[in-house]
Amino acid sequence: MHRIRLDPKISVSVVFVTAMFMSIMDSTIVNVALPSIARQLNVPSSSIDAVVVAYLVSLAVVMPTTGWLGDRWGTKRIMLLALTLFTISSALCGLASSYGMLVIFRVLQGAAGGALTPVGTAMLYRTFPPSERVQVSRILMFATILAPALGPIIGGLLVTQLSWRWVFYVNVPVGILACLFGFIFLYEHKEKAPGRFDIMGFLLAGSGLALLMYALSEGPSSGWSSINIFGSAILGVILLTGFVLVELKVSEPMIDLRLLRDRLFRSTNLVSLFSYAGFLGTLFIAPLYLQEARGVSALTSGLTTFPEAIGVVLSTQLVARLYPMIGPRRLMAGGLTGVSILMAMLTRMGPDTNLWVMRVLMFLIGAGMAYAFLPLRAAAFATISSSSTGRASAFYSAQTQLGAALGVAILGSVLSIFGPTTLTASGAVEPNLTAYHAAFLAASVLALIAACIALTVSDKDAAVTMRRKARTIEPEKSPGVVVDPDAALSGEASS
C-alpha cells in the first residue's frame, strides 16, 4: 500500500500545535471548574486544588525521561502514545464519579502531558532548519499564547452552559483527530545510539522536580512555614542538587547538563525562566484581582485578560520581520524592559479604574512579550546538534514549567504576605489593593531580571537563525540516525 505523503514541516507543525494547545489550555481551563467540581463531588474547597497539583507533579516526574524515550523508541511513537493517553485520561476525568478517581486520572493526564511538549519540540527542531525557525514561531505562538488566554473563557462557558465534566471532554475529539493525523502523516525518527536509561538520574530528577513543583504550587495557599511545604521544598532542592552532581559524572545522562556549557542555550534558558515567571505570574494574579478585588464575573475577567493574547499574535508578525535585521539580544532586552514598565503600571489600578485601562495594558504587555517569545524559540536550539535535541528539549520544557510554577509561587506568596483582604474600622472585610499592587510589582521585577539576562545573549551565536531564506539542501541521512524509508521528504535527520 502506497503511503500518503505530506510535507513533514506541515505534519509536525499540525500535531505539535494541537498537542501544545491541549496541554497548555488544560492547565488554565480546569481552574475555572474547581468550585463546581468541589460542590458536585462534596470536596472541601481547601482540598480541591489536589486536582491541579496531581497534574503538575505527574508532569514533572515524566518530563525528564522524554528525551531518552523519543531517542530510543522514536519520536512519532512516543508522541502518538502520549496523545492517546492524554485523550483517554481526559475522557476518564470527565467520567470520574468520585474525587479519588478524578485525582488518579489527573495523574495519568499529567504523565501524558509531560511527554507532549518535549517530544513535540524535538520533532519540530529536527524538522525545521535554524534559518526557518523564526517563521514557524509565528504559527506556534497561536498555541502557546492563545491557549492559556482562552482557557478561562472556554472553561467559564462550558461550566456555565453544560457542566465541569466538559472541560475534560473537550480534549477527546481534538485528541482523536490529532492521533489519526499523526499516525498517517508523521515520520519516525530514532537515534541509533540513544544510550542506556539513566535510572539514577530519573529517580533524582523525577522525585526532586515533583517535590519542588508541589511546594511551589501549594506554598502560597498553605504557607511556606508548613512542615509539608517547607520539607518538600528542602528535600526537592537536595534531590535536584544530587541529580546535578550525578549527571555531571555519568557518560550517558538523562538530561545532559553539559548542554549549559553552550553559551546561547544557557542564556536563553535563563531568559525564558524569568520571563515566563513574570508573565504567567501576572496571568495568575490578574484574574484574582478582577474577581476578588473588583467583583467581576469569571467571563468578564477572562475577556479583560484576553487582550494580551491578541497583543502577542499581532506583535509577533512585526518581530518576525525585525529578527533577521536586529537579532535576539536587543529585541528581548528592549521588549522585556517595556513589559517590566507596563507591569509596574498595573499597580495604578484602583477600585474604580475603568477596566479598559487594564485591557489596554494587558494588550501592550502581550505585544511586548512577543519580543521575547519569538526570539527565544528561534535562537534557543540554534547551536544544539540533532543528536542532542531530544535531551535539550526535555531540559527546556522542564525549565519552562519550573518558571511558570516559580512565578505563581512568588506572586502568590507576595499576595499572601500582604493579605488579599483587610478589615475596616467598622469590622467589614474589603479587598486589600496594596497586596495586588505588590504582586504586580514583583512580576515587573522578574521581567526586568529577564531583560538584564537577555543582554548576555550573543547575536553572533544565533546568526544561523537570522538568515532570511534557507538554502536548499538535498536530504542526507546523518550518521547514527534511523529514519523512515520515506525520509527523503522528512528533513528530520538534520538539525
Task: Indicate the pTM of the whole model.
Answer: 0.75
pLDDT above 90: residue 432? no
Give the model's pLDDT for residue 66.
77
Q: How buried is residue 298: exposed, middle or buried, by Cβ count under 10 Å (0-12/13-18/19+)? A: buried
Task: Name the band, by pLDDT with cuts 50, 70 and 90, for residue 9.
Answer: confident
Average pLDDT over residues 353-370: 92
Locate 52 and state its grid cell. Answer: 491541579
Rounded to 10 degrees, the C-alpha dihedral 247/251/257/263 comes to: 150
Average predicted confidence (pLDDT) for the chain = 79
pLDDT above 50: residue 137? yes
Taking the C-alpha atoms of residue 437 and residue 345, their distance in angstroms, rounded to an integer, is 9
Domain boundaries, the chain: 1-197+468-495, 261-461
Three-class SS state of 190: strand
Taking the C-alpha atoms of residue 413 and residue 276, their distance in angstroms, rounded to an integer, is 17
Strand segments (E) across 322-426? 421-423
Fold match flag (1-197+468-495 vs 261-461)? yes
**Closest Cα to residue 195, out of 78, 68, 63, 76?**
68
User: 170-219 pLDDT, tens per residue?
Assistant: 889 989 998 998 888 877 776 666 667 767 877 887 788 778 777 876 77
Average pLDDT over residues 307-317: 85
Taking the C-alpha atoms of residue 491 and residue 316, their distance in angstroms, rounded to an integer, is 26
Task: Name the band, by pLDDT with cuts 50, 70 and 90, for residue 46.
Answer: low
**Closest Cα to residue 49, out of 62, 66, 63, 33?**
33
Task: Name the band, by pLDDT with cuts 50, 70 and 90, for residue 333.
Answer: very high
Give the model's pLDDT for residue 476.
39
Q: Which residues contact 362 (CB under 8 A, 6 or more apart)?
A: 286, 304, 305, 306, 307, 308, 311
Arch. (CATH architecture) of 261-461: Up-down Bundle (1.20)
Rounded to 10 degrees, the C-alpha dihedral 202/239/439/346 comes to: -40
User: 142-178 pLDDT, tens per residue?
Assistant: 666 677 777 777 877 887 788 888 889 988 998 999 8
Task: Name the band, by pLDDT with cuts 50, 70 and 90, for residue 341.
Answer: very high
Q: Which CATH superfamily is domain 1-197+468-495 in?
A: MFS general substrate transporter like domains (1.20.1250.20)
